[in-house]
Amino acid sequence: MRRFSPDNDFQSVIREKDWALVYFSATWCGPCKTMGPIMERVASDHQGSVTSIKVDVDEAPELAGRFGLRSVPTLLLFKDGQVVDGQVGSMPKEAVTAWIREKKEKEHE
C-alpha cells in the first residue's frame, strides 16, 4: 500500500490504474489501527489490479474536506479518477474484498 504524500497530485495518483482504493485514516484513530494490517493484506491481494493508497487525514486535511469525510477509517473506491463508492468504519478483510469485487463486477455489466 502506497502512502500518499501531500506533495503529490492526488488526481494523478488515483489515475495511475483504472481502479484505486483510498484508505483514509489517522494515527490517533483506534479502529484505524485495527484496519491498518487488514488494508495492507487487501492491497497485497489486489496488487496489479487496484492501486491502494493510504491517506493520513491529519497530513492531508484538504483531501478529507474535498470528499466530505466526517469519520475515519473511510474507504473510497475510484474508477478512472471518479469515486464509485465509499465505506465508513472498520471492516474485516473479507468484507472489503467482497465490496471491491462487487463494484468491479458491476462495472462489467
Q: Report DSSP state, residue 90.
A: -
Look up 51 and say whether it is catalytic.
no
> Per the residue annotation, which of 13, 21, 29, 43 is the catalytic one?
29
> Per the residue annotation, which of 32, 57, 64, 91 is the catalytic one?
32
Look up 62 and say whether it is catalytic.
no
Whether residue 28 contacts residue 82, with contact meaning beta carbons closer than 8 Å, is answered with no
Question: What are the Cα distances from residue 4, in Å, to 10, 25, 45, 98, 99?
Answer: 8, 11, 19, 24, 22
Active site residues: 29, 32
